[in-house]
Amino acid sequence: MYPTMEMRWFWPDCLPLVVHQWFDHQMPSPPSEREDWYLCLPDTVNLGIKVREGKLEIKKRLIDRGIVSINDRVEGQLEQWVKWGFESSSVIDFTHPSDTWLSVKKARQQQTYILTNTDQIERLEADTNISTTVTQGCNLERVELSVFDQSWVSIGFEAFGHEASVEQTLKRTISHLLKQAEFPSLTSENSCSYPKWLKQLVQQN
């Protein structure tokens, strides 16, 4: 079980220019590409099920905080989730998706920020093995998406670690980045979770 606290935003076609420029500076390495398959769940936004690189991942929403303002520049849907992962040997039937599965192609970049022993937020070097060295932190993700022959882009913050403190870790990470004068504004009108975004796309297509 893997608890997270998340805020995410979506835009059709491409990022606003100021957002794009800031993320190019933060993430100079090229994106990694993959194709995920999501189970279409038209009746709920509280659950996400996908096959990622041969593994089944299940994500359930535990808490919906609603729209939360970090300050006057960042506002979005704040949600707590829990994740489970299963190895490919136990999900072999899912590797050939039927019409109930939706292909989402991704070009993804990620930067991790950690909460240090001195209670400071620090940027993690790209070659660090997160699984063995980091217990509390926050991932900042930019991902280009292709689904239903449409292009989208998403920005997301995902705090991880102790369940009781993931919300504070997320807010502290965003507040840390907000100290940079060029950090872009992110508004609630573009903010929702992956399950809600996918549900809206399925309904429209």
- Residue 92: what pLDDT? 47
Q: How far apart are CA 4 and CA 137, in angstroms?
A: 10
pTM, two decimals, is: 0.88
Q: Dihedral sign, CA of 115, 136, 172, 189?
A: positive
Domain ranges in the chain are 2-204
Is the pLDDT score of 148 beyond 50? yes
Q: Dihedral sign, CA of 119, 125, 126, 131?
A: negative
- Residue 108: what pLDDT? 94
User: Which CATH number is associated with domain 2-204?
Assistant: 2.40.320
Place 129 in a pLDDT band, splitting at 50, 70 and 90: low
- Residue 28: what pLDDT? 66
Share of the chain above pLDDT 70, in %: 89
- Residue 7: what pLDDT? 97
C-beta atoms surrounding 87 within 10 Å:
9
Q: How far apart are CA 157 and CA 152, in angstroms?
A: 17
Q: Is 148 in contact with 201 (CB distance < 8 Å)?
A: yes
- What DSSP character marks residue 90? G
Is the pLDDT score of 150 beyond 90? yes
The first and second tokens of residue 138, run together, are 């926050």
Average pLDDT, the chain: 87
Tens-place pLDDT, residues 3-42: 999 999 999 988 888 888 888 877 767 889 999 999 988 8
- Residue 189: what pLDDT? 95
Lowest mean pLDDT among 54-63, 75-84, 120-129, 161-170: 120-129
Is the pLDDT score of 46 beyond 70? yes
- H helices of the chain, where? 17-26, 130-133, 166-178, 194-204
The first and second tokens of residue 98, run together, are 């039927």
- Residue 15: what pLDDT? 82
| CA 172 from centre of chain | 17
